[in-house]
A and B are shown apart, each in its own frame.
Chain A
Amino acid sequence: MSGPRDLIQSVVVIVPARNEADRIGAVLDAVRRAAPAARIAVIDDGSEDDTGAVARAHGAQVLRHPFTLGYGAALQTGYHWALRQRFTRLVQLDADGQHDPASIPSLLAALDAGAQLVLGSRYLDPATTPRTSFARRMGSRFFAFVVSRWTGTRITDPTSGYQAMDRRVVERLALDDFPEDFPDSDVLIALAREGVRFAEVPVQMRERLGGVSMHRGGRIAYYAYKMALTLSLLPVRRSSPFRAGRELARAGAD
């Protein structure tokens, strides 16, 4: 099976979504405008509204979790799906409209320039830097500092979910040890230790069109705790004892 289909499928866009029926249509239309040839998959993480139906109506493939598994797990389902397609580059962005799909070409350009993982950063360009709470800004700065030190690349926005990556990175992230709740700083550092090359491009984050941010209240404290734990265990931790995901990834890669 080769020919024009290879070209069409060379970019895949995955959009994890939960209860985003009101917003996802516009996001998918914008993705279509920014990357007309891309195949788009929405991972419906156990939504209680019509997210899946709306996404399908807007031309996306829909993968539905039978119940909510978490943001990271939804991304990973997308990685597994992607590995079953022919693609060379993958873009992931959130369904709530925060990530402007118009930036997709610049993320892909950075991949073509030699990076394997490209982060869309809202802090790279002072003009686009959003106003956030002091605590959150300090937290962001701290993790940016830690990640930059460990990866040897200047990273300003390690918590960005707006990313582009090549197939090798997708294969790596499809493995079992991918966190199901907050995949960011720890994942970046693990990848850096394995020699993955990073790049950042400035993106504008729009105000959320509604819904609830992932990083809020008690979850911020848990996030800080979890990052501290996983980062300090990173050098000595065993790889996941579970095999299922590895086999799943291999089946997709074959």
Chain B
Amino acid sequence: MPSFGPILQELQGPALREAVDGLPGHQKTVAIVLSIAMFLVVVELVRKRKLREEYSLVWMLTAFALLVLAIQHRLLNVVRDLVGAVESTSALFFGALVFLMLLSLQFSVRLSKLTFRNRTLSQRVALLEDEIDNLRAGRGGSDRAASDRAAAEPRDGDAGAA
């Protein structure tokens, strides 16, 4: 087997030597602009009441983390070495990826909860409609009066069946 060692060294060498401290100039600018834009968009969405405060937190934290990492060379270097990346840029991307994974997981958990609530609510609607129908049929009179009574004393429906 031919030795790939020198070739690999040749390929890796420059990259290792050039491992930059923090981000190169324009990448740093992009990261800073991106984080500020993210911050502004989140604030705007909360202002318009399109994003709930509880969900805004994770986004704010991300924007903040992005900003800090872009500005603080040393912190980004720590992250870079921690994940074993060569380029600081990759470290930043890696961080973003981890964040997105956490966010999706959070959404999946919320979805599970909402799915469950949705199911329970729909089942309850089906049962209540059935009870209202029974009340109307049982009491006669105008439908209007029956449904008013049903709305006024929902507990009565339960007791009637039991």
Contact at B130–A80, with CB atoms within 8 Å? no
In-complex Cβ contact of B123 among A69, A84, A85 (8 A): A69
Instruction: Using CB atoms, name the residue of chain A closest to B117.
Output: A244
The listed residue (B118, B120, B158) touching A251 by CB distance below 8 A is: B158
A62 vs B132: C-alpha distance in the bound complex, in angstroms? 12
Q: Is A81 an interface residue (CB 8 A)?
A: yes
Q: Which residues of chain B are near A244, meaning CB under 8 Å?
A: 116-117, 120
Question: In the complex the two chains form, is B125's CB within 8 Å of A84's CB?
Answer: no
- Once bound together, how far apart are the Cα atoms of A242 and B117, in whole Å? 9
CB pair B162–A80 under 8 Å, yes or no, is no
A64 to B123, CA, bound (A): 8
Interface residues in A25-80 by Cβ distance below 8 A to B read 43, 61-67, 69, 73, 76-77, 80
Q: Is A186 an interface residue (CB 8 A)?
A: no
- Residues in B with CB closer than 8 Å to A207 are none
- Take A63-B129, A77-B126, A77-B127 as given contacts and tell me if A84 and B158 are in contact as well, using a CB distance cutoff of 8 Å: yes
Q: Which residues of A contact B122 (CB under 8 A)?
A: 65-67, 69, 73
CA distance A252 to B113 in the complex (A): 23
A176 within 8 A of B: yes
Do residues A80 and B127 form an inter-chain contact, with CB atoms below 8 A? yes
Assess whether B126 is in contact with A84, with CB atoms less than 8 Å apart: no
| B-contact 0/1 string along A177-198, CB 8 Å cutoff | 0001000000000000000000
In the complex, A248 has a CB within 8 A of chain B = yes
Residues of B within 8 Å of A61, CB to CB, are 130
B124 within 8 A of A: yes
Bound Cα distance from A128 to B118, whole angstroms: 40
Flag if B117 contacts A65 (CB, 8 Å): no
Bound-complex Cα distance A64 to B129 (A)? 8
Query: B119 an interface residue at 8 Å Cβ cutoff?
Result: yes
In the complex, are the beta carbons of B126 and A242 less than 8 A apart?
A: no
Closest to B126 in A: A63
**Residues of B close to A240: CB separation below 8 A:** 116
Size category, B interface: 10 to 19
Of B119, B130, B158, most A-chain CB atoms within 10 Å = B119
B161 on interface, CB distance cutoff 8 Å: yes
Q: What are the residues of chain A within 8 A of B127 when measuring CB–CB?
A: 63, 77, 80-81, 84, 248
A180 touches B126 (CB 8 A): no
Closest to B158 in A: A251
**Would A63 and B120 count as touching, CB distance under 8 A?**
no
The answer to whether residues A66 and B162 also contact, given A81-B130, A244-B117 and a CB cut-off of 8 A, is no
List residues of chain B with CB within 8 A of the CB of A77: 123, 126-127
Residue of B nearest to A67 (CB): B122
Q: How far is the CA of A252 from the CA of B119 in the complex (A)?
A: 17
- With A84-B158, A254-B158 known as contacts, the answer to whether A176 contacts B116 (CB < 8 A) is yes
Known interface pairs A81-B130, A254-B162. Does A65 touch B116 (Cβ–Cβ under 8 Å)? no
Residue of B nearest to A62 (CB): B130
Residues of A within 8 A of B (CB): 43, 61-67, 69, 73, 76-77, 80-81, 84-86, 176, 180, 240, 242, 244-245, 248, 251-252, 254
Task: Give me the interface of B with A, judged by CB distance under 8 Å.
Answer: 113, 116-120, 122-127, 129-130, 158, 161-162
Ranked 4 nearest A-B pairs via Cβ: A84-B161, A63-B126, A244-B120, A77-B123
What are 22 sample pairs from A and B whose C-beta atoms fall under 8 A apart? A62-B130, A63-B126, A63-B129, A64-B126, A64-B129, A65-B122, A65-B123, A66-B122, A67-B122, A69-B123, A73-B119, A73-B123, A77-B127, A84-B158, A85-B161, A242-B113, A242-B120, A244-B116, A244-B120, A248-B120, A248-B123, A252-B158
